[in-house]
Every structure is written in structure tokens, then in C-alpha cells.
Amino acid sequence: MRAKVLPAEIAEDFKTSPEHVRVSIAAAMTLGLKPGNFFRNATCDCVNLLENYPAGCYANCTYCGLARERPGLAQDNTFIRVGWPVFPTDLVAEAVGSQEDRVGRVCVAMVQDKRAYPDLLDITRRIRRKSDVPISALVTATLLDEEKLLRIRDAGADIVGIGLDAASEEVFFRTRGRGARGPHSWSQHWEIARAARRIFGPMRVNCHVMVGLGETDRNLVDLFYRLKSEEISAYLFSFNPEPGTAMADVPRAPITRWRRVQLTKYLIEQRDLPREAVEFDEAGMLKHVRAPRALIDACVEEGVAFMTNGCPDRNGKMACNRPFGSYRPGEEFRDYPFVPTEEDQPIIRQQLGVKDLGG
């Protein structure tokens, strides 16, 4: 008798979490689950996992490839513009355990689904059983409370990430909340961020913040100061329109804006740039950053300001570098997944428009 073979797209419907997880292409390549190499010999030091359900995600964020109202089947769609192949969770856990020298961290990301929270615990425990590698939980704040955060910690996660994404309440409402026919609320996200900060400790909670969702630079700068004062990390992402989503036709932030936001964030967080040193125009966009030219030059030479923001490995070195996560390898770099080289520095300098920046 011939075995019935399910078409791939139907078969993937049944490969749900917690038995299966989606793995970022970069992580799948690193673990040897998918072929391929990285442009400029970049490495991927964090294994990013995503829960998988037939509907994708019941939230409806206007920029997200997993949005409920995005046309097409969830399994055919991309997330952050690339495919996320599905693998058995235990296979991934084995691969992580056997390659601990190459894996700096694992990140388990929730979606909006009633199964998402218990499955996050289950997946986290499966990874922990096979490996001591640090684990981040990238949580859906809407589904959580303080008690659940404690259980996430007890399951083995040492860092919590929260996809705040929007830099202001108004942008949040329009892109993620009721304005987008989505379930998320700004206040709930902050409540969970602060609860997580209490439970996990200073700089062990991070909020993802996207540049390009319609916020002003003033919104971003205000948020950087606010997060710093609460000892919560800000991880910057460059919005990149995902085909088929409600924001598919919205252009990305110009590269000069992106570089200046990266630099300003770095100066605020690492060099204690005072608030009055940042000047905005009438539209709330960065006009001048009154920092010594020598300091800006030093930042360009050091390069860290222009790298990906991400969770660290067990030695404190940034692990979650998401190579080519928010731009194609053939395009100009947005966040560098490695320390920019000497050849990159003149490009960064030009993109920053250093001469005009200081005012």
C-alpha cells in the first residue's frame, strides 16, 4: 500500500508548538539544519526560535509578517522578510546541546495564541534539559502577568525581551493596538516590562524598539532616556517593509536618520549624553547632537554604536546579532552583525553626515 504523502503546506499545519518550532534561517544555518554561508563571514551567535501555530499569530501588528490579517497561509509567509523553517523542538535542543561552543544564547519567541505561554515554558525546559546555554524569552506581554514571569524564570530563562516596537503610545495604538484591530495595549506592555525588571534584574529585560513606524526622533530619544532610567535595555530595529503586510508600501527610515538614531542612543546609554545636548526641529526630528566632534569620531572608529543590539552570551558578549535581519545582504548595512571594519568607517561617517550633525 502506498503511503499517503501530505502536501508540505498541510503537513506544516500539524507541526505545531511545543513539539515543533520555527527556527530563523540564520540559526538553522549555524546549527547545520539548512545549507548556506553568511556574507562577509558574519556569524550568527544566537539561535532564534519562534512558536508555530497554523494561524501564525492572532495579533495584527501592521508591520509584521505574522499578522492575523496578512493575506496567505501563515506557513507560506515570511517573518522579518525571511523564511523560518519548522523543525522538531527536540531536534533543535539536541543541536544546541551538541554545539554549545557555537551558540551564545537561545531565544524563544512567543506569538499571540492561547497556547503560547505554556508552550514557551515547555520549549524553554526542553532546551534547558539538553544545554546550559543562556535562554531569553521574547514574550507576548498581552498574555502575561507577574506569576507567569516567575515561571518563565524558573523554566530557565535569564533574560526577558518585550516587543514594544513602537516608540510612543500613539504609534503603538496605530500599529499594534486597537487602531490596528490588534489586542495589544501600551500600558500592559509597560506593566509587564516593569514586573520583569523587578524579577529578572537591571538590564536583564529589554524592549525592542523600531525606527520607521511613524514615530519622531523625539519619541525615540524620550524612550531611550526612560528605559535607561528604569534599567531596561533598548534594542533597536530598523523597520523593513514586509510584503503583504499593511505597511508593505511604507518606506524605511532614510539611512542618515537611522545612523543618527543609533549614534544618539549609544551616546545616551554609554556616554551619558545630557538631554539638552539633543536638539530637534519643529517636526520632532533630530537637528543637532551637541557632542564633541572627537567623541563622535571615536564612536565611528569603535563601531559598537552601529552594531546590532541584542542579548549577551554567558560572557557578556553580544550574541543576538541577527545577521542581515533587517536588510538584504546585497543592500547597505543597517545594524552591523560584527564590529564594522576600517573600510566600513568612511561609509558610516558619510551616512551620519558628521559635519552637519554637531550643529
Partner 1 sequence: MARIEGYDFPDDLWYHPPEHLWLHPERAGDEWLITVGVDAVGQDALGEVVYVQLMDAGRVVARGEAVGSLEAEKMVRPVLAPLSGTLSEVNGALMAAPRLLNLHPYDQGWIFRMRARDWEGEREELLHGEERVRAWISAELQAMKERR
Q: Where do contacts with partner 1 occur on this chain (CB under 8 A)? A: 25-26, 29, 34-39, 42, 82-83, 323-324, 328-330
Beta carbon nearer to partner 1, 281 or 332: 332
- 44: its cell numbers: 550568527
Beta carbon nearer to partner 1, 42 or 295: 42
Smallest gap from Cβ 33 to partner 1, in A, equals 12
Smallest gap from Cβ 79 to partner 1, in A, equals 12
- DSSP 8-class letter at 29: H
DSSP strand pairing (46-51 vs 20-23): antiparallel
Bond prior to 71 in cis (omega within 30° of 0): no
Using DSSP's 3-state secondary structure scheme, residue 261 falls into helix
Smallest gap from Cβ 121 to partner 1, in A, equals 30
Q: Which of 263, 168, 152, 274 is nearest to 205 (CA)?
A: 152
Chain CA centroid to CA 153, Å: 20
- 233: its cell numbers: 535595555
Beta carbon nearer to partner 1, 38 or 225: 38
Q: At what angle do helices 255-271 and 217-229 cross, to 10 degrees?
A: 20
Beta carbon nearer to partner 1, 214 or 310: 310
Smallest gap from Cβ 354 to partner 1, in A, equals 28
Beta carbon nearer to partner 1, 36 or 292: 36
Smallest gap from Cβ 136 to partner 1, in A, equals 21
Note whether 96 and 130 are within 8 A (CB): yes
Smallest gap from Cβ 320 to partner 1, in A, equals 15
Beta carbon nearer to partner 1, 34 or 115: 34
Using DSSP's 3-state secondary structure scheme, residue 271 falls into helix
Q: Which of 258, 342, 252 is nearest to 305 (CA)?
A: 258
Strand pairing partners for 47? 106
- 61: its cell numbers: 501588528
Residue found under cell 517636526: 283
Helices (H), 44-185: 89-98, 116-130, 146-155, 169-175
In degrees rounded to 5, what are phi and psi of residue 125? -65, -40
Beta carbon nearer to partner 1, 40 or 290: 40
Smallest gap from Cβ 78 to partner 1, in A, equals 10
Beta carbon nearer to partner 1, 38 or 173: 38
Smallest gap from Cβ 174 to partner 1, in A, equals 30
